Structure 1
């Protein structure tokens, strides 16, 4: 069995601002609440290889991993996968940005499978991801919309 999530949110901001803010990996510690570190390790053509680390969990464990992310500004899509998979057999993420009546519909699709020795199974991880994605998307929406308001001309 494998896990699959598909979540989206409407952001009331210009497409370029949404795209730029959500693809600036080095600022993800400010954009997301879960990341303590977001460090670019290297760039290979259009692909960015980077390390993410979460804030310590209740046991003091810091989970981190390396991912490769390839944004395509022409199609406003991003494909990403974990290079260091940790408890996952694989984790693939697809981001899509679509115009929506003057707003941006940002969508994240995650396909994954947990390793047999992982602390949770596919269903539990899917539920965790769906729950946390909603929280993170809402934070991103609020921060991007605030940046759009701050950049808007007065008058």
Structure 2
């Protein structure tokens, strides 16, 4: 059975700001704490093919992979998948954005299958992804809300 995660956070900011900041892949090294580099490899219509590189591990290992991402501003959804799957047989992602009374709910769903023969499986990867996703979502919430407050000050 495949692994899956489903995490959401509400960001107190306008939809367009949340959408724009979280879908600007080139800016992800400043938005996500774990990414050292985001390189756009190809653009085809709305679809981006890009390489993400993590900051080095404590042992100096650097992890990198290529993904594909297609945002749909009309439905406020983003579908993504890893092309270079690394430890996964597959990794698919769905990001959704919806308005709430408290702001914008940003939800990330990940479905994956860890390759056989690794020293960890879907359960351990689910725990790792949930931990990292929650940390990154909290950081993104803080940064987007700070940007929203700055825009309000400029207008005010």
Which residue is equivalent to 1:112? Answer: 112
Secondary structure of 2:71's aligned partner? strand
Matched, 1:71 2:71: yes
* Partner Cα separation in structure 1 for residue 102 and residue 7 of structure 2: 20
Aligned length: 155
Query: Structure 2 vs 1, CA of residues 27 and 119 (structure 1 numbering), >3 Å: closer, same or farther?
Result: farther
- For residue 119 of structure 1, report the CA deviation from its aligned partner: 3.8
* Structure 1 gaps, min length 5: none
Give CA deviations for 1:68-117 in whole Å, capped at 9, x if unaligned.
Answer: 00000000000000000011000000000000015100000000000113
- For residue 126 of structure 1, report the CA deviation from its aligned partner: 0.2
* Partner Cα separation in structure 1 for residue 128 and residue 94 of structure 2: 18
Give CA deviations for 1:41-93 in whole Å, capped at 9, x if unaligned.
Answer: 11012210000011111221111000000000000000000000011000000
Is the CA contact (8 Å cut-off) linking 2:11 and 2:102 kept in structure 1? no
* Structure 2 gaps, min length 5: none
Q: Moved runs in structure 1, 4+ residues, more than 4 A?
A: none
Is the CA contact (8 Å cut-off) linking 2:26 and 2:40 kept in structure 1? yes
Secondary structure of 1:33's aligned partner? coil
Q: What is the TM-score of this pair, normalised by structure 2?
A: 0.96
Root-mean-square deviation over aligned CA pairs: 1.0
Secondary structure of 1:110's aligned partner? strand
Q: What is the TM-score of this pair, normalised by structure 1?
A: 0.97
Is the CA contact (8 Å cut-off) linking 1:88 and 1:118 kept in structure 2? no
* Partner Cα separation in structure 2 for residue 119 and residue 29 of structure 1: 29
Query: Structure 2 vs 1, CA of residues 17 and 30 (structure 1 numbering), >3 Å: closer, same or farther?
Result: same
* Partner Cα separation in structure 1 for residue 146 and residue 88 of structure 2: 35
The residue correspondences of 1:132-151 to structure 2 (distance < 5 A) are 132-151=132-151
